[in-house]
Amino acid sequence: MYIYCMDHDKIIERNTELTRRLLESAKPVSCSLAKTKFKKTGRALISYIPRAGYVNNSILDCYNSHNSYAAGILFRSMVEHAFRHLYIHTRALNEDSDLVGEEYYGKLKGSEDLESFTKINNYTKIVHPDKTVWNTKGEHNKSIAEVGKQFGLSKIFYYVIENFNHDDEMIRDGMKDYLLERLNQYTMLSSYVHGGPYAEMCHEELIKDEEKRQTHIESIVSESFGLYKSVVETTHLFAYLHDEAMLPHWEAVRDIGKQEK
């Protein structure tokens, strides 16, 4: 279920305004974060802005070509990008250290390599049983894999739910429901990524009803923008929390579309 929808003009207008704000703020925010103790965390947070932007732009292309199927695949990826970004932001603030950034560029990268090597080894053994392969076992690799698991979506969901602190109970509950909705979407869209029968059924249903398909893809585009904006806004907020000079840049992003709500 998608919970919010903007019309075409507003979708383009919001994306254009966010791009303009980014052109103004990218350099000062990046330079500011580089001067803090959160150098690797800051680098990771900033890196998600263009990457999430690429996914969001591709979803916009799907909107223009009425490609609801590919939009579903891309939206699942957008959810994962936004969740990982939120996890890095939340952990860095809670721990008041650069540890999560160090893990991101250290053990998480190692975990990705380890997973790839293990799979390639297994495939190679089938085709070339006598060929020498990498040894991926051992306590060191086990510890790397454990850190990698912390960046998985379900682990992130549990961590953020447990560590989201706010004085307003309605905001706390709203945040939990929001994260739950996104995770539910992510789970259901797995069939799109893997080419499953559920995705086939949904796609066939949308093909039969053009109005329903248009509403569906508009809602994906709207929520994609919301996730992209949250990545940008949260990064700017992180910069402002450690450098008050970044306040105007955070407010400029935060207030996009605010007057319409």
pLDDT digits (tens, 9 = 90+) for 100-146: 999 999 888 888 888 887 888 888 888 888 776 666 676 667 778 78
Residue 171 has a pLDDT of 62
Q: Is residue 111 part of a domain?
A: no
Domain, as residue range, for 55: 8-94+152-260
Q: Which two tokens stand for residue 119?
A: 């799979």
* Amino acid, res. 20: R
Q: Which two tokens stand for residue 245?
A: 């000079």
Q: Is residue 106 part of a domain?
A: no
Q: Which of 65, 98, 48 is nearest to 227 (CA)?
A: 48
pLDDT digits (tens, 9 = 90+) for 172-209: 678 888 899 999 999 999 999 999 999 999 999 999 99
Residue 241 has a pLDDT of 96
Q: Is residue 103 part of a domain?
A: no
Residue 120 has a pLDDT of 82
pLDDT at residue 70 above 70?
A: yes
Q: Which two tokens stand for residue 23?
A: 């052109």
Count of structural domains, the chain: 1
What's CA 162's distance to the chain center, in Å? 19
Q: Is residue 209 part of a domain?
A: yes
Q: Which of 59, 121, 86, 113 is nearest to 238 (CA)?
A: 86
Residue 10 has a pLDDT of 82
Q: Is residue 189 part of a domain?
A: yes
Q: Is residue 58 part of a domain?
A: yes
What's CA 189's distance to the chain center, in Å? 15
Q: Is residue 190 part of a domain?
A: yes
